[in-house]
Structures are given as structure tokens and as C-alpha cells.
């Protein structure tokens, strides 16, 4: 009798399993048109409050998730650190201060703040000036000891070392280690003005760009080139290429210089503007136990940081958060391996066992990271049932509204009805998140594509989102 019950149950669920592995026709056709074989995709669709999937396809295959891996990093961060967690950057000295003169070294200690912006740094130095420090007789000492040295090569990932997403982590990550170049066409002089912010004192910007009257393509930046060289302690950025006047003003962000050299140049710029002087040089070191704190600046909360990480897929911030979890667990100086161990232990505590999981740096900017569509869907289900669900879901791009989904699904029924994390690498295109369908049901959707033609997968992914929104079969 028991055997018969098992047999009847197996016969009952077989049609459901077969149906679950059948792709919707619109999705299958879009994949075929894109030249992407079905074997190159992993898909899961299921109700957010249920466990039985409505659609699965290659769901257990380990695949590169690209930036959808940020879902794991930000969820773990919110739970382990708390939404109100903040980072502090502090200034210290063990030297006496007399009539505005600090008779020794000034120390800056970093805490791996993911978003220590140019403006925030100015506030820290302004606070230092307000507390009576004007002239630093010794060195500026950078305490970057929280993170282990990485030997980061910004060209290693895709041979584009000046792209901001290739900036490596650092305990004193300042302004994402980038310079924002505002390009201003001047038709009268047939030239392009360049306004740099910040303006590190050890950086020379050489503008050799020319202006033309062509239309402004979306790929306008591909026609411009930047070359960075270093001689002695100065850096030289040479800008060449053709910029269309019809583009009007555009911002071009470039990640450049070594972390310590960048902090040095920006500190000297701002400190001089604030009326201060630095007599010594700039070097790495550790704040002495005898030092006293002179000034501090506190970051935004993690809940606010997570919005930037997910909506705009900020790789540098995600890496900083990933390492912070390792540091807060007591690993100092922290390495990627330490953060990896902390995240895996947290997953185990939640009975989320992902045997295929490969964590590299937690941002998804990796050729090595792996997770299956099935386990990414399990993660999304855990998020939905978590106390930090509101913070995380609101951090995801809203279809046709903002972030990396702003230009997708406009005019479609699912516009404004889906919170989705996107991911894109060469050969990888992914989406993962939640869709509110026509009947008001929240659906988990995961669609991973790993194939040389993955860049053409958007139509298939959008077709699946539309299928889910309309209610599926």
C-alpha cells in the first residue's frame, strides 16, 4: 500500500516536472533568434511565498551570475552588519598642537568605507581645520592596515585599467579613486574644455581632444582615449580623440593612480584650499597606540549604501562591503578568503547550502564566481522572508524607472512592476529579482545566460518577464 501511494504521487507530479522544464514559446523563439542554445541558460520562476517552482530550466547548473552575485553580498551584509551599520574615517596624531602647528605626523585611518566621496573627505579636513590644525610639520601617514595588500592589477579583468569598475578595494578608498572629467564643447573656438574634479596636485591633465559636428552616439566615449603615465612622483593623463559638439556637456569618469598617491594628491589639493600646509611627505603606517583622535567623518548607513550597490551595480562598493564582513568578524588584516568564509558560515546558519557556490570578490566582476539559478532563487526566497527584505528589495532597480533597468521594458505591462538585479559581462547576461504579476502575486524570477552571444539575450529575458507578468501558462 505504501509503495502504491509513492507510485501514485510520482505519476501525479511527473506532468508538473515536465511542464516546468518547457520554455515559454516567446522565450524559446527569442533565444533561437539570438543564437543562444537552450543549454546555455538557467531559469527559475516561482511564487515568492511558495516553494514549488512554476518554471525551471537547467536550474541546477553552476553558472557565472555576473552582478546578480551582489544579491548575496548585500543580503549577507544587511543581516550580519545591520541596516544602520556605518563606516568611520578618522584623523589622529601623537604630536602636540600649538598655535595651529601640529609638531609631528598626521594619521588618516581608513575603515574600508565604500563611499568616502570627495565631498565627505572635504568635511573631514574642514573639521580638522575647525579644531585648530593648520600646519602639519611631519608626514601625512595613511593607515590602510584594515585590508591585506591585494596587489590589485586594474588591467587584469578586461585590459581596461582606467575604467572605474576596475578600481581595487582599499581601506582608504577615496572617491572611488576616480576623477570626474566634465567635457564642455566650445563651438566658437572649436575646442573641448575639460573640467576635472577633484584635481590631485600630483596629476597633470593634457587635453589633446578635438571637436567635430557629427551627431552624438550613445557610444561617444568609445571615440575618446586616455593614457596614464607616471614619472617620479607625478602622473600624466593625456586625453585624445574626437568629441561631437552635439553631445553638449558629458561626464567622463576615470579611475587612476595608486591609492596612496591619489589620497596624497587630493589631500594636498583640499588642505591647501583650506589654508593648511603639509611640510613632510606621504607614507603608509599605523596609528600609534598613544595617538589621540582629532577628527572623524561617518558614512551613510549600510541601507543607503546598498541602494547604490544594487541600483547602479557598483562593483567597488560591493567589494568593500564584502571585505567589511570579514573585518567585522575579527579577521584583520582581512582578505577575500576571510570574507568568503564569513559569508559561507552565514549561509550555513540559514540552511542555505550552495555546494556549487564560488565566491571570488562578492561583486560579480569575476570570471570565476558561480551559483545555480535554483540556489539564486532560494536566496531570493530567503530575502523575501527576512526582516531586511524592505531594505534589500527597494535597493533593486525598478523596471523602466531607475538604475540599470531604467531603459528596459518601457511601454511594457511589466514596467514599474519588477525589482530586478541585472548582470552583464562578456559572455554573461543575467537578471534576478521579483515581478508583481497582473493578479498581484509576487514572483521570483532568475534567468542566467552564459554564452558568447549572451549580449543578445535581453529580448529573451524581457519575454520571460512579460510571460511572468501576464500570469504564465
180-200 average pLDDT score: 96
The three cell numbers of residue 24 are 515559454
Yes or no: say if 267 and 199 are a contact pair by the CB < 8 Å rule.
no
Helices (H), 232-285: 259-273
Average the pLDDT over each of 10-14, 22-26, 45-49 and give the range with the smallest value.
10-14
* Cβ-based neighbours of 231, under 8 Å, separated by 6 or more: none
Yes or no: say if 392 and 75 are a contact pair by the CB < 8 Å rule.
yes
pLDDT at residue 8 is higher than 50 = no
Domain ranges of the chain: 2-84+302-469, 88-298
DSSP 467: H
Helices (H), 102-220: 118-130
* Cβ-based neighbours of 59, under 8 Å, separated by 6 or more: 42, 43, 44, 53, 372, 373, 374, 377
First to last CA, the chain: 35
Q: What percent of the chain has pLDDT over 70?
A: 95
Yes or no: say if 237 and 206 are a contact pair by the CB < 8 Å rule.
yes
Q: Which phi and psi angles does 371 have, rounded to 5°?
A: -160, 155
Q: Which phi and psi angles does 2 have, rounded to 5°?
A: -60, -40
- The DSSP code sequence of 75-113 is HHHHHHH-TT---EEEEEESS-EETTEE-S-EEEE----
The candidate with the shortest Cα–Cα distance to 362, out of 22, 110, 80, is 80
Yes or no: say if 46 and 444 are a contact pair by the CB < 8 Å rule.
yes
Cβ burial 449-470 (10 Å sphere, 16+ → b, else e): bbbeebbbbbebbbbbbbbbbe
pLDDT at residue 252 is higher than 50 = yes
Gap between the Cα atoms of 50 and 359, Å rounded: 27
Please give the pLDDT value at position 300. 97
Please give the pLDDT value at position 411. 87
The three-point CA angle 405-406-409 to 5° equals 70
Global pTM value: 0.94
pLDDT at residue 439 is higher than 70 = yes
Q: Which residue has the cell 572617491?
A: 175
At 9, is the pLDDT very low, low, confident or very high (cuts 50, 70, 90)? very low
* Cβ-based neighbours of 125, under 8 Å, separated by 6 or more: 267, 270, 271, 274, 276, 295
The architecture that CATH gives domain 88-298 is 3-Layer(bba) Sandwich (3.50)
Gap between the Cα atoms of 423 and 426, Å rounded: 10
pLDDT at residue 4 is higher than 80 = no
The three cell numbers of residue 140 are 601625512
Q: What is the pLDDT of residues 58-102, one digit of tens each?
A: 999 999 999 999 999 999 999 999 999 999 999 999 999 999 999
Question: Across the chain, what does the average pLDDT equal?
Answer: 94
At 20, is the pLDDT very low, low, confident or very high (cuts 50, 70, 90)? low
At 13, is the pLDDT very low, low, confident or very high (cuts 50, 70, 90)? very low
Q: What is the pLDDT of residues 391-427, one digit of tens each?
A: 999 999 999 999 999 999 998 899 999 999 999 999 9
pLDDT at residue 41 is higher than 80 = yes
Gap between the Cα atoms of 402 and 354, Å rounded: 31
Please give the pLDDT value at position 21. 76
pLDDT at residue 5 is higher than 90 = no
5 or 72, greater pLDDT: 72
At 193, is the pLDDT very low, low, confident or very high (cuts 50, 70, 90)? very high
The three cell numbers of residue 469 are 507578468
DSSP 133: -
The candidate with the shortest Cα–Cα distance to 121, out of 300, 305, 297, is 297
290-319 average pLDDT score: 98
Please give the pLDDT value at position 19. 43
Q: Which residue has the cell 538557467?
A: 42
Q: What is the pLDDT of residues 325-379, one digit of tens each?
A: 999 999 999 999 999 999 999 999 999 999 999 999 999 999 999 999 999 999 9
Q: Do domains 2-84+302-469 and 88-298 have the same CATH topology?
A: no
pLDDT at residue 11 is higher than 80 = no
- What is 2-84+302-469's CATH superfamily? DD-peptidase/beta-lactamase superfamily (3.40.710.10)
Does residue 266 sit in helix, strand or coil?
helix
Yes or no: say if 398 and 390 are a contact pair by the CB < 8 Å rule.
no
* Cβ-based neighbours of 75, under 8 Å, separated by 6 or more: 379, 382, 383, 386, 388, 392
Residue 434: strand pairing partners: 419, 444
Q: Which residue has the cell 552571444?
A: 453
232 or 292, greater pLDDT: 292
Amino acid at each position: 500500500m505504501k509503495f502504491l501511494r509513492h507510485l501514485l504521487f510520482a505519476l501525479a507530479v511527473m506532468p508538473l516536472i515536465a511542464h516546468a522544464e518547457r520554455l515559454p514559446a516567446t522565450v524559446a523563439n527569442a533565444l533561437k533568434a539570438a543564437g543562444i542554445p537552450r543549454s546555455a541558460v538557467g531559469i527559475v520562476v516561482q511564487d515568492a511565498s511558495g516553494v514549488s517552482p512554476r518554471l525551471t530550466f537547467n536550474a541546477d547548473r553552476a553558472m557565472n551570475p555576473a552582478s546578480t552575485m551582489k544579491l548575496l553580498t548585500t543580503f549577507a551584509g544587511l543581516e550580519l552588519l545591520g541596516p544602520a551599520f556605518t563606516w568611520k574615517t578618522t584623523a589622529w596624531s601623537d604630536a602636540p598642537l600649538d598655535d595651529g602647528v601640529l609638531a609631528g605626523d598626521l594619521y588618516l585611518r581608513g575603515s574600508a568605507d565604500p563611499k568616502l566621496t570627495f565631498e565627505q573627505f572635504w568635511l573631514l579636513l574642514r573639521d580638522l581645520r575647525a579644531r585648530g590644525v593648520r600646519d602639519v610639520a611631519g608626514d601625512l601617514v595613511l593607515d590602510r592596515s584594515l585590508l591585506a595588500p591585494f596587489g590589485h592589477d586594474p588591467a587584469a579583468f578586461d585590459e581596461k585599467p582606467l575604467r572605474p569598475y576596475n578600481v581595487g578595494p582599499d581601506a582608504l578608498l577615496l572617491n572611488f579613486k576616480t576623477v570626474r572629467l566634465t567635457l564642455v564643447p566650445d563651438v566658437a573656438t572649436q575646442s573641448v574644455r575639460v573640467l576635472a574634479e577633484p584635481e590631485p596636485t600630483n596629476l597633470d591633465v593634457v587635453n589633446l581632444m578635438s571637436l567635430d559636428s557629427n551627431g552624438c552616439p550613445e557610444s561617444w566615449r568609445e571615440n575618446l582615449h586616455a593614457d596614464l603615465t607616471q614619472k617620479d612622483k607625478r602622473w600624466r593623463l593625456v586625453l585624445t580623440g574626437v568629441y561631437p559638439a552635439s553631445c553638449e556637456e558629458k561626464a567622463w569618469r576615470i579611475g587612476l593612480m595608486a591609492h596612496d598617491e591619489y589620497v596624497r594628491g587630493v589631500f594636498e589639493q583640499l588642505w591647501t584650499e583650506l589654508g593648511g600646509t603639509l611640510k613632510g611627505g606621504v607614507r603608509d603606517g599605523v596609528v600609534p597606540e598613544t595617538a589621540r583622535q582629532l577628527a572623524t567623518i561617518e558614512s551613510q548607513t549600510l541601507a543607503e549604501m546598498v541602494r547604490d550597490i544594487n541600483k547602479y551595480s557598483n562593483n567597488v562598493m560591493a567589494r568593500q562591503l564584502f571585505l567589511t564582513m570579514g573585518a567585522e568578524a575579527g579577521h584583520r588584516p582581512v582578505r577575500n578568503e576571510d570574507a568568503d568564509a564569513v559569508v559561507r558560515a552565514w549561509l550555513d546558519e540559514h540552511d542555505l547550502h550552495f555546494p556549487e557556490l564560488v565566491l571570488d570578490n562578492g561583486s560579480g566582476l569575476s570570471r570565476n564566481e558561480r551559483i545555480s539559478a535554483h540556489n539564486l532563487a532560494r536566496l531570493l526566497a530567503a530575502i523575501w522572508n527576512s526582516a531586511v527584505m524592505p531594505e534589500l528589495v527597494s535597493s533593486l532597480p525598478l523596471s523602466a524607472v531607475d538604475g540599470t533597468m531604467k531603459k528596459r521594458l518601457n511601454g511594457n505591462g511589466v514596467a514599474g512592476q519588477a525589482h530586478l538585479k541585472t548582470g552583464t559581462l562578456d559572455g554573461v547576461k543575467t537578471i534576478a529579482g521579483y515581478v508583481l504579476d497582473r493578479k498581484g502575486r509576487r514572483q521570483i524570477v532568475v534567468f542566467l545566460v552564459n554564452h558568447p552571444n549572451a549580449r543578445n539575450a535581453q529580448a529573451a529575458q524581457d519575454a520571460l518577464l512579460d510571460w511572468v507578468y501576464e500570469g504564465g501558462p
